[in-house]
Amino acid sequence: MILIGADKPHHAHRFSAVTTTYREHFHIIDGFTREVNGNSFDRHRHLYRGITSFKNKHYHRFYGETGPAIPLPGGGHYHLFEDRTYYNYDEPIDIEYGGVLYGDGERPKHDHRFKGRTYGIVGEDPLARISCTGIATNLINHKGS
């Protein structure tokens, strides 16, 4: 006997979204969530972070946490996410080596909002799933004897 929801494999998800538009530019975010142990029914969440695509001579950092796991009818699950990028200047500062340079005085800056959903599970260890299921099955069968 296997308990539904007892198996919590280590996994991550791919994500991608387009940000809101500001002054005729937008950015693309994409990457992979941090790995966690979880299944479709335990409401687990993932952390994510990254740097947007480079548009209009700048990029933005972003960090966040997905919503809880949402089961799919055919198996598996996905997560919703929604947040905003960190601020960057409207007019980039010319610097030789890139990066963010904050100076004295106020300069106009902006951020972008984004939302989306994760794609299918990636990075799941198939041996961990077999091992966990086998251990749970053996423990249940042993207890019953």
- Does residue 136 fall inside a structural domain? yes
Phi first, then psi, for residue 130 (nearest 5°) are -65, -45
pLDDT for the residue 6: 61
Count Cβ atoms below 10 Å from residue 22 Cβ, excluding itself: 15
pLDDT for the residue 123: 77
Over its length of 145 residues, how does the chain's per-residue pLDDT go in tens digits?
455 556 888 899 999 999 999 999 999 999 999 999 999 999 999 999 999 999 988 899 999 999 999 999 988 999 999 999 999 888 776 665 555 655 656 788 899 999 999 998 887 666 555 444 444 433 344 444 4
Find all residues with CB under 8 Å of 34, minimum gap 6, and list them.
12, 46, 47, 48
Residue 123 amino acid letter: G
- Does residue 106 fall inside a structural domain? yes
How far apart are the C-alpha atoms of 37 and 68, rounded to whole Å? Answer: 13
- Does residue 5 fall inside a structural domain? no
- Does residue 86 fall inside a structural domain? yes
How far apart are the C-alpha atoms of 133 and 124, rounded to whole Å? Answer: 14
Domain count, the chain: 1
Q: Is 143 left (phi over 0), alpha (psi -120 to 50) or beta?
A: alpha
pLDDT for the residue 113: 98
List the domain range (segments joined by +) for residue 121: 10-144
- Does residue 18 fall inside a structural domain? yes
Burial of residue 86 (number of CB atoms within 10 Å: 0-12, 13-18, 19+) = middle
- Does residue 47 fall inside a structural domain? yes
